[in-house]
Amino acid sequence: MYSICSFYAEVELFIVPFSNREFSTDKSSSTANRSANPAGRLMSVSSLVEESNNGIYSIGMLIFPTKTAKSQDAKAVYNLQKNAFRALRFLFSMERNRRLFKRLFSPDLFAVFIDVGHYTMDIEAYSSVVDKLNSLPPTELSQMKISLQDTNQNREPSQSISGYSVYEHLGTGAFGSVYKVKKNAQGKFLALKEISFNNPAVGRTAKEKEKSIAGIISEITIVKEDLRHPNVVRYFRTFTDDKSENLYIVMDLIEGAPLHEHFNSLREKKLKFPEDRIWNIFVQIVLALRYLHKEKGIVHRDLTPNNIMLGENDRVTITDFGLARQKQPDCSKMTSVVGTILYSCPELVQNLPYSDKADVWAIGCILYQMCKLEPPFFSSNMLSLATKIVAADYVPVEKGEYSDLVIYTIQRCLTSEPKERPDIVQVASLISDVMMNYIDNLRSSQISLEKKLDRERKRTQKHYHEATVNMQNYHRLFLASQERYDRLANLSESGGAASIKSDSDPCNDVFDSADELSSSASHSESLRAAYTNLLHPPGGREIEKSTGTDSSGIEEDRQKHLRQSRE
């Protein structure tokens, strides 16, 4: 009899090879199967997960304890739980999956889950996680199951907001929440930012609310700027809901993880960013800021690793323009104190006028953090932190750790005096060699894609032409068969016969077209033979040129031809 033990043993056969797959980096293409570093992230596992985009949910359903009376079945369930947790622990090592796990596990279980470490193959190492899960009270297990349902990519939308179906709650910020939505069943997923004016974070007094709303309107103003850049998040529309008194902003859904998550991941794995990856990310940030500063006159004012999203192949997208502001044409300086202090420039910390060079300081901090995996200025004491920022007092990147160009670029961006600090165009000139190499790689990639597209276009056109000719030949062959039938009927009624096969036979045109379409002579001959056998079957009486009046024979031939034509 098929027992629960047999079922779990079969599922385990799937989970074990799932956990034992090859490693590759999270930023590599899904076709890669191997990595130079075996501690890289699991892209080969991700390729299997993304076949349905539902792997975390599918495996997560297997971790929950199942009550069973048989000890053998209980052991099978326990082993399955360990294998499922191992697969989930490997998937957690991919940065873009981490937000799902933080919502799925309770804090206590999450701590034990983290303590197992990255890429631990020993199945017994996961016993502590299973034991912790099985000891949780039923209320916590029920809450985990509800949280797990939120990761189900195939579930029905939970609600609708002004025609947008809500599929997932992505997170909550100071002013409201962000949801994963879709306009219609066939549309693509978007991000919907919900801002509640009744939220205490907006303000308690009328004056505070007015100030906060002005900051929110700043983001809406930038939405109207119609930003179009591959490294800047795309905004689509804004609208209000009279019932809930909320403001909504519809924007691109960025698949990936913040740069900050990559810092945490590498630090946990005791790895570093390779320099080519650093330049790939930094160049994209520079290109985006050049577009914002020089073409749109916009200063972001809150550039942090949390506002820089990394997608597939480390594609950079700058998000969250909640603190952004347009530069006034009559004033190159701004005075309001905004932004995250860890990445704030000295003039901001001192509450002095500042310009777009505030963003240059921020990317200098980010470049430093890509090298050291920690910000250049940090202190638990705010006064000490401000003092370090004003004096540009940081531990420099050691020579030999990265190239001199990386170290020099950090030094120039983190210049405390704004007049001596380069603007974004001057930063681009500092790394001109790197940018030229980046553009060359883009051009090579573009040429390769254009060639691939041209081959695909020619292949499609060829198949379309062949399909069109085949359809035309089929139609002509059908008409020719109908004409042959009519001729036979007329001959039978007139009492005389003529040769069916003639030089003016319309079917010959069909076979001639087939000859042109096919390069194989045997192909066209086989078509001719098949059609000849259809009208002149072996052993049948052939209608010859004559003026005889054997109408019974003609009628007999006609009936045979009709039967075989129908067959």
Q: Tell me 193's DSSP state.
A: E
Count of helix runs (H) and strand runs (E) in the chain: 20, 11
* Residues 554, 492 contacting (CB under 8 angstroms): yes
Task: Indicate which residue of 26, 73, 302, 320 is catalytic.
Answer: 302
Half-sphere exposure of 151 (CA within 13 A, CB side): 26
Is-contact 46 30, C-beta < 8 A? yes
Q: Is 319 helix (H, G, I), strand (E, B) or coil?
A: coil
**Which strands, in side-by-side order, build the sheet including 235-241?**
159-161, 164-172, 176-182, 189-196, 246-252, 235-241
Tally of CA atoms within 13 A in the half-sphere of 543 that contains its CB: 27
The answer to whether residue 509 is catalytic is no
Reduced to 3 states (helix: H, G, I; strand: E, B; else coil), residue 189 is strand
CB contact at 8 A, 322 and 360: no
Q: Are strands 176-182 and 189-196 parallel, antiparallel or unpaired?
A: antiparallel
Secondary structure letter of residue 39 according to DSSP:
T
Q: Is the dihedral of CA 264, 270, 275, 276 positive or negative?
A: negative
193 annotated ligand-binding residue: yes
Beta pairing partners, 299: 325
Contacts 24+ apart (CB under 8 A), 111-116: 113/85, 113/88, 113/89, 116/85, 116/89
Q: Which among 128, 138, 142, 46 has a CA at the least distance from the CA of 82? A: 128
DSSP label at residue 3: -
Question: What is the per-residue DSSP string for 207-273?
Answer: HHHHHHHHHHHHHHHHHTT----TTBPPEEEEEEETTTTEEEEEEE---SEEHHHHHHHHHHHT---
Which residue ranges are tagged as binding site? 193
Catalytic residues: 302
Residue ranges at the known binding site for ATP: 193
